[in-house]
């Protein structure tokens, strides 16, 4: 049964920016909630925008046609003014950023100060420059508006909310470790199964992209930066919490401060398009075959893992070898993420969150779950 709402619930005006894989699926899920307090008043792609508060979008098909026919170019200053005019004692605003844009991310402090809640799966703001993160935290505190980002780590899996509850209830986080990338999980679950050979590395990366797991440019997954961004978000969630038990973590200046081992062959650094990147990756298949063979010789498999080691103040992401009976080897399939929270209360047996960690349906669900937290 879906959430039900009182007819007197305050209205939440929703403005969606970014209508790609996740954005379109988010709108579909949003519009399928019966009698909800949400009104989809604006949609914006990279080239067009619509603001229609008097006739909010109601069906998944109509918004696409209306946006396609719009001649309005995106203008975030104007959108901010327009949305401000909708705030009243019975009506609030949520901006949902489903892009991976730095430009959109840089606007969160302004929007939070303007009284809008900000919800996003976009990792850029929370893992980028520390100054922007501080401005977001301050703006949210000043205005009482929320910034919610469950889908930035583990897509729809309850990772951020679990961490916030552990912190909020006073647990001491010792270490968080796991497979944080749906793309990397899929790639190595398929590539390194314990047998000495198998499908080529480049063909599997291509498959991950076709399934919608990768970032818009797959190099952003293979260079380890996507994992480094997620580790930065977790580290900051810990170090900016009010929990005094977790003070030994360094303040990361940005995700680039995470020790990260890239899987990009040096000649493929800086290739501008994902298509060209994939087509040239096949020239490096033998290098990856060799890594697989070396691990197999030791009866091990390859997995790309991330660690936030709070006790030792260490944050890192790298390709590691695991024995065949390790949970990272045995229990993962598809784009599964597995995240282990080692805490004081959870003692020697960690709290484990596991499941699909990429893909439009589960990511959009995490974004919509955040929106429901506003009601
Ligand atoms: N896919 C997944 O499994 C997961 C994705 N995420 C995150 O979700 C976000 C969206 O991912 P996904 O949907 O897969 O990516 P897509 O590339 O499919 O969609 C991103 C959309 O953002 C739009 N866009 C880019 N810049 C702007 C801008 N300045 N203004 C308005 N729209 C803009 C693009 O529009 P246009 O098409 O017009 O160019 C594009 O359609 C990313 O931040 C990603 O990291 C998080 C967890 C999992
Ligand atoms: N590209 C990312 C998508 C989710 O954050 C991943 O593969 O995990
Ligand atoms: Na999540």
- Higher pLDDT among residues 248 and 323, named by residue: 323
Name the band, by pLDDT with cuts 50, 70 and 90, for residue 249.
Answer: confident
- The residue whose CA is least distant from atom 17 of ligand 1 is 216
b/e per residue 174-205 (b: at least 16 CB within 10 A): bbbbbbbbbbbbbbbbbbbbeeeeeebbbebb
Q: How does strand 351-356 pair with strand 336-343?
A: antiparallel
CA of 178 to the centre of ligand 1 (A): 25
Residues tagged active-site: 230
CB of residue 366 inside a 6 A radius of ligand 1:
no
Name the band, by pLDDT with cuts 50, 70 and 90, for residue 162.
Answer: very high
pLDDT surpassing 80 at residue 244: no
Contact of 343 with 1, CB cutoff 8 Å: no
Residue 310 structure tokens: 């709070």
Which residues have C-beta atoms less than 6 Å from ligand 2?
155, 181-183, 213-215, 221, 226, 357-358
> Mean pLDDT, to the nearest integer, of 206-226?
93
How many Å from the N-terminal Cα to the C-terminal Cα in the chain?
Answer: 17
Where are the alpha helices (H) located in 130-282, listed in sequence order? 130-143, 160-168, 182-191, 201-210, 219-222, 225-239, 274-281
- CA–CA separation, 208 vs 187, rounded Å? 7
- The residue whose CA is least distant from atom 39 of ligand 1 is 46
Contact of 152 with 123, CB cutoff 8 Å: yes
pLDDT at 76: 98
pLDDT at 321: 96
> Mean pLDDT, to the nearest integer, of 185-213?
93
Q: Edge to edge, what strands does the sheet with 38-44 contain?
A: 49-51, 38-44, 11-17, 91-97, 116-119, 147-148
CB of residue 22 inside a 6 A radius of ligand 1:
yes
Contact of 95 with 17, CB cutoff 8 Å: yes
> Mean pLDDT, to the nearest integer, of 260-277?
95
pLDDT at 1: 63
Q: What percent of the chain has pLDDT over 90?
A: 88
Which atom in ligand 1 lies closest to the alpha carbon of residue 216?
17
CB of residue 308 inside a 6 A radius of ligand 1:
no
Prediction ipTM score: 0.98
- Higher pLDDT among residues 216 and 350, named by residue: 350
pLDDT surpassing 90 at residue 243: no
Residue pLDDT, tens place only, 25-70 = 999 999 999 989 999 999 999 999 999 999 999 988 789 999 999 9
Q: How does strand 91-97 pair with strand 173-179?
A: unpaired
Of 130, 49, 141, the C-alpha closest to 95 is 49
pLDDT at 35: 87
Name the band, by pLDDT with cuts 50, 70 and 90, for residue 247.
Answer: low
- CA–CA separation, 220 vs 222, rounded Å? 6
**Residues constituting the chain:** 375
CA of 217 to the centre of ligand 1 (A): 11
pLDDT surpassing 90 at residue 78: yes
């Amino acid at each position: 049964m879906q959430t039900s709402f009182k007819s007197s619930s305050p209205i939440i005006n929703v403005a969606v920016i970014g209508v790609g894989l996740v954005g379109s699926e988010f709108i579909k899920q949003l519009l399928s909630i019966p009698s909800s307090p949400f009104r989809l008043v604006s949609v914006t792609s990279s080239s067009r925008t619509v603001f229609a508060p008097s006739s909010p979008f109601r069906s998944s098909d109509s918004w696409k046609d209306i946006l396609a026919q719009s001649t309005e170019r995106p203008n975030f200053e104007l959108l901010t003014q327009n949305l401000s005019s909708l705030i009243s004692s019975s009506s609030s605003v949520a901006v949902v950023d489903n892009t991976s844009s730095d430009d959109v991310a840089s606007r969160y402090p302004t929007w939070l100060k303007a009284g809008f809640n900000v919800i996003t799966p976009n990792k850029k703001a929370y893992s980028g420059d520390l100054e922007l993160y501080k401005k977001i935290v301050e703006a949210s505190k000043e205005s009482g508006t929320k910034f919610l980002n469950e889908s930035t780590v583990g897509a729809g899996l309850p990772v951020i909310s679990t961490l916030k509850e552990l912190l909020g209830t006073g647990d001491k986080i010792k270490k968080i470790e796991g497979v944080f990338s749906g793309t990397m999980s899929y790639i190595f679950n398929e590539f390194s199964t314990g047998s000495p050979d198998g499908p080529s590395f480049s063909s599997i990366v291509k498959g991950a992209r076709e399934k919608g797991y990768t970032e818009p440019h797959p190099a952003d997954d293979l260079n380890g930066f996507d994992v480094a961004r997620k580790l930065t978000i977790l580290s900051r969630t810990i170090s900016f919490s009010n929990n005094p038990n977790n003070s030994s973590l360094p303040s990361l200046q940005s995700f680039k401060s995470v020790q990260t081992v890239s899987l990009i062959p040096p000649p493929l650094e800086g290739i501008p398009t994902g298509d060209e990147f994939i087509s040239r990756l096949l020239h490096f298949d033998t290098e990856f075959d060799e890594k697989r063979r070396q691990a197999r010789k030791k009866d091990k498999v390859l997995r790309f893992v991330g660690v936030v080691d709070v006790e030792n103040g260490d944050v890192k992401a790298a390709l590691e070898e695991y024995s065949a009976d390790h949970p990272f080897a045995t229990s993962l399939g598809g784009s599964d993420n597995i995240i282990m929270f080692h805490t004081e209360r959870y003692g020697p047996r960690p709290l484990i969150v596991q499941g699909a960690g990429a893909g439009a349906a589960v990511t959009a669900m995490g974004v919509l779950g955040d929106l429901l937290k506003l009601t």
